[in-house]
Structure 1
């Protein structure tokens, strides 16, 4: 028999995982949710903003734009104030959307609490990778991992839902 604590903890797992995604690419969580909404998939939690067409398409555009912008030599570190702010907002919105109904605030807090500290760890990993293979190659590899992870997390949260 599954205990309340196990069910409760697993219910917030997608929120924590989407926070990890936000640590590396701030716009990917919202782009992954926008993609699911464009495919008419229902979210477990209430959506904030991402049911409006402008925000859905805007999230997709920002997600793609971030993938290109990250390769620029002038791209700031993800731990600068605006980078962390973007992660807080994106992780919070996505974490709430992927949390069980009625637990959206907790899901948002879990996602933000995962995204911010992990931003420092993912930055350290990226810097090591950049030293080995360069900015563009390390960025493309990180993109592939993060986008795949974002889509997988959303799919995990939506399994069994229509």
Structure 2
């Protein structure tokens, strides 16, 4: 049984989950991988920019800023409209890119990635609030733990892309 076609679905969903946790985490992972190992399938497509070293660097700077900004008391809720839209777009972009690279319909990948980002945003928010309420651990510390999970999962995914 050839499982390779199913990989694109898992990759799109995983990137979406990462985007739901930290908006820029998924584009950081994907642009890092594709800028170092370009996909011929993405050449001359709207997703070709994801293979640029410059794009990779920009996403890394934005991602680092998000890791710091998330812990600030004035940081907006991830489930506010702006945050959800950004997370959906991030997940959708990454899902579509992975699907295109795997010769699949980008729209399907976008829906999987974007949907996973929305689900992850809510799931992680409720989990973070619940952990804080039950343990008394400060939100910033829980956010730092979430960062460790995002970076670890992103690193593991990058090795599989």
Q: Normalising to structure 1: TM-score of the pair? A: 0.83
Question: Is the CA contact 2:31–2:50 (under 8 Å) kept in the aligned structure 1?
Answer: yes
Count of residue pairs the alignment pairs up: 153
Bigger fraction of residues in helix? 2
Q: What's the counterpart of residue 82 of structure 1?
A: 82
Question: Is the CA contact 1:15–1:96 (under 8 Å) kept in the aligned structure 2?
Answer: yes
* Deviation per residue, 1:104-158 (Å, 9 max, x gap): 22111111111112211110011123333112210110000012112222322x2
Q: What's the counterpart of residue 18 of structure 1?
A: 15
Q: What's the counterpart of residue 55 of structure 1?
A: 55
Q: What's the counterpart of residue 32 of structure 1?
A: 29
Question: Is the CA contact 1:45–1:97 (under 8 Å) kept in the aligned structure 2?
Answer: no
Q: Structure 1: state its 5+ residue gaps.
A: none
Instruction: Kindly indicate whether residue 115 of structure 2 is the aligned counterpart of residue 113 of structure 1.
Output: yes
Q: CA deviation at 1:58?
A: 1.4
Q: CA deviation at 1:49?
A: 3.1
Query: RMSD between aligned alpha carbons?
Result: 2.1
Q: Normalising to structure 2: TM-score of the pair? A: 0.84
Q: Structure 2: state its 5+ residue gaps.
A: none
Q: CA deviation at 1:48?
A: 5.0
